Amino acid sequence: MLKLAVTGAAGRMGRRIVALACESGDFEVAAAMEAPGNSLLGADVGELAGIGSLGVKITEQPGAGCDVMIDFSLPAGTEKWAKYCREAKLPLVVGTTGLSDAQKQMLQETAQETAVMLGANMSLGVNLLFKLVGEVAKNLGSGYDLEVIETHHRFKRDAPSGTALELARQMALAKDWPFPDCLTHGREGKNALREEKTIGMHAVRAGDEIGDHRVLFSALGETVELHHRAHSRDTFVRGALRAAKWISDKQPGMYSMADVLGL
């Protein structure tokens, strides 16, 4: 059984990671971390996750002896945990979005010392969608306009979502368009006509929507649409746990969810 460290353990994703990790039988939750000053420091993470006491308190730092870490925190938190995992040689699964180029570079440096899996989205369906959008963009040719529309809950901080950006990146690669320069973020004004060789990007924040991504390929006369909707955060959690189990014995390097899923 793998000893799991969970960051952002008091958050929505963190609590579900704890609950489903214990349910899986593959993991023992050995450490649960939150940012300094969090009001839930010292709480039993099992009780917070709704599965009863685990005897594991939420702390600022993990203890020794963990086998793998899952990080769904904020970019500053990911930067902190990347440094920790690099020094501890601890495999790291990162689901945090909104990372800067410098923070992504830090993860690359961490991957020289330990295994790192960075995923824009942990869902099997979304990772298959990443592959499909590139194939569709390439095969439909130049007569189709490309648009990405993503919807998330009102509390999501970064926009567009990491998933939406990766969908656009895959299409740009297939089209040999410069990314992210080819993106048009929303439209406004009295002369906002679509430009050639661009991908429209639209972010909606509303209510408690878990995650909805639509990709449109539209020409004069027809529209092809690829659509993924997450019904529950559990789909991302199960993917993250699958990644954590997969990466726990891997050599140092930067891995993707496509590697985990064999795509």
Q: Residue 120 — very low, low, confident or very high, per pLDDT cuts 50/70/90?
A: confident
Distances (CA, A) of 205 to 155, 165, 240: 8, 16, 24
CA–CA gap between residue 151 and residue 205 (Å, rounded):
6
User: How many CB atoms are located within 10 Å of the residue 262 CB?
Assistant: 6
CA–CA gap between residue 251 and residue 239 (Å, rounded):
20
CA–CA gap between residue 77 and residue 11 (Å, rounded):
13
Burial class (CB in 10 A: 0-12, 13-18, 19+), 246: buried
Peptide bond into 36 cis (omega under 30): no
- Strands (E) in 106-252, as ranges, are 115-118, 145-152, 183-185, 199-205, 211-219, 222-230
For the segment 52-91, what is each residue's pLDDT rounded down to a tens digit?
999 999 999 998 899 999 999 999 999 999 999 999 999 9
pLDDT over 90 (residue 8): yes
For the segment 216-230, what is each residue's pLDDT rounded down to a tens digit?
999 999 999 999 999
DSSP string for residues in 188-208: -SS--PPPTT-EEEEEEE-TT
Residue 83 structure tokens:
């440094």
Closest alpha carbon to 168 in 153, 149, 155: 149
Q: Which residues are catalytic?
A: 152, 156
Give the contacts of 41 (CB within 8 A, at least 6 positions apart).
34, 58, 59, 60
Give the contacts of 234 (CB within 8 A, at least 6 positions apart).
16, 20
Record the pTM. 0.84
Q: Please name each of the domains of the chain with its CATH number.
A: 2-118+233-261 (3.40.50.720), 124-230 (3.30.360.10)
